[in-house]
Amino acid sequence: MTTFTTDLWNSIFTPGTNSSLVLATHASFFALQLTFFVLLVGTRSYHFITLSFICAGLWMGISWFISEINILKQEQEEVKERLGMEMKRKVKGGE
């Protein structure tokens, strides 16, 4: 738990996402959905259904954005590897 908290705190100061931040995001949205369900059952107000749909849409949008960031990170790593291999070939070929 200490590592999770430390990683979550450090993610505030570093660009991008890490696994702790993603887990905290999903846990927060799940807790919000659970809260809306409990309030719906307790009050029988249809407003909580609407709020739940809004929350679900936001949750899906953020999940999609996180997956796109991960795809971009993977593509950048592949480009770095390719450039590194090309630089090694040029150094070997120049000798």
Domain range annotation of the chain: 2-94
Burial class (CB in 10 A: 0-12, 13-18, 19+), 12: exposed
**pLDDT tens-digit profile of 11-66?**
888 887 788 889 999 999 999 999 999 999 999 999 999 999 999 999 999 999 99
Full-model pTM: 0.75
In sequence order, what are the residues at sequence separation of 6 or more whose Cβ sits closer than 8 angstroms to the Cβ of residue 16? 69, 73
d(CA 92, CA 95): 6
CB half-sphere exposure, 37, CA atoms < 13 A? 7
d(CA 73, CA 25): 19
